[in-house]
Amino acid sequence: MDKKKVRDYMTYDVVTVDVHGTARDVIEAIRKTQHDGFPVVDGKKVEGYISARDLLFVYPNTSVERIMSRHLIVADPEMSINDAARVIFRSGIQKLPVVDDENNLVGIISNTDVIRSQIEHVSPEKVFKFIDTLKQLYDLKPTLNRDRVPIAGILPTQSKIYEDELEGRMYEIQKGLAEPLIVIRRPGKLILVDGHHRAVAAKRLGIKELDAYIIEIDENIELGLERTAREMNLKTLDDIKVMDYARHPLVAVTHRLVRHG
């Protein structure tokens, strides 16, 4: 994660408010964009930040400069995404303006951007825990390697993925930021354990190989993951169903609660 920088996930096309504007201009910007806050700039220089709550109990012709917050926290494009995450979540701020050394606005990073950067994070601890599970279940002695693996012929073990996450993984692959897959390689089989969004993203981009943690098993035994894949009729990455975000189970539950609440 250390190689992931704010510049890789920030939004470059930022809607701003002019420091010489009025509350009415901010209201109009909210109406047009549905955003709840904006960096305040004088030319390209960041002077402050103004949010919808700053507009409470003020006249429409009140100057932005008078009601904006001057005590804003900003991020540097080269800041690690982890550091940005700490600032955002510890401060309770939803968005950080990103500025250069001259305090010129170059982008904005939000808590949503940070969450996107963390999805499907693979740590060595995660790999070793899975290896321990294999040892306990099958009395095996797996070994671990790190190498590139071919996408073609890999056996998926997850029946569906989500379009919004898939788009994020495509972006990361193009930027060289993708996390390694976790795969099991046993005689005649290459089984995908973790990284289905990345694998499908690579296929869409025409990429033939991806970096992976490879758990090597010499024994020629069928694993539970393979039986699960067979039960779900999974043979190739093409068998994975790509779900639109609107059909995400959590969203569906939320909609039901709203309708019946």
Residue pLDDT, tens place only, 157-204: 999 988 878 888 898 898 888 889 999 999 999 999 999 999 999 999
Task: Give the sheet arrangement for strand 209-216, strand by strand.
Answer: 143-150, 209-216, 181-186, 189-194
Q: Do 228 and 139 fall into the same domain? A: yes
**Any domain includes 101:** yes
Among 1-5, 94-98, 195-199, 248-252, where is mean pLDDT lowest? Answer: 248-252
Provide the CATH number for the domain around residue 100: 3.10.580.10
Q: Do 180 and 238 fall into the same domain? A: yes
Chain-centre distance of CA 39, in angstroms?
23
pTM for the model = 0.59
Task: Give the sheet arrangement for strand 37-42, strand by strand.
Answer: 17-18, 37-42, 45-51
Whether residue 250 is predicted with pLDDT greater than 60 in this model: the reply is no
Q: Do 179 and 77 fall into the same domain? A: no
Q: How many domains does the chain have?
A: 2
Q: How far apart are CA 137 and CA 140, in angstroms?
A: 8
Q: DSSP string covering 150-212, please?
A: ESTT-B---SEEEHHHHHHHHHHHHHT-PPPEEEEEETTEEEEEE-HHHHHHHHHTT--EEEE
**Any domain includes 194:** yes
Q: Do 187 and 200 fall into the same domain? A: yes
Q: Do 46 and 142 fall into the same domain? A: no
Chain-centre distance of CA 230, in angstroms?
30
pLDDT value of position 246: 43
Please indicate whether residue 168 or residue 246 has the higher confidence score (pLDDT). Answer: 168
Please indicate whether residue 216 or residue 82 has the higher confidence score (pLDDT). Answer: 216
Tell me the residue range of the domain where 85 lies.
6-117
